[in-house]
Amino acid sequence: MRKKADLPTKICAHCGRPFTWRKKWEKVWDEVRYCSDRCRRERKSPGQPQA
């Protein structure tokens, strides 16, 4: 078993925060760009004012 500190990390393309590998991303890790659904949704609407 791997320690959490040993898992690969990436930087989110929207918010710039680091995030770590998750089991559900195992097969698509190379394609993952966003840390959350929220960041993925917000990248689609750059013209919307933030609350």
Residue 22 lies in a domain: yes
The answer to whether residue 27 is domain-embedded is yes
Indicate whether 20 belongs to any domain.
Answer: yes
The model's pLDDT over 1-51, given as tens digits with 9 standing for 90+, comes to 768 778 899 999 999 999 999 999 999 999 999 999 999 998 776 555 555
Tell me whether residue 49 is in a domain: no
Which phi and psi (to 5°) does residue 10 adopt?
-140, 165
Which structural domain range is residue 15 located in?
4-42
Say if 30 falls within a structural domain. Answer: yes
Q: Looking at residue 37, what is its pLDDT? A: 93
pTM of the full structure: 0.71
Give me the number of domains the chain comprises: 1
Asked whether residue 48 is domain-assigned, the answer is no
Alpha carbon of 34 to those of 1, 3, 24, 40, 41: distances in Å?
25, 22, 14, 6, 10
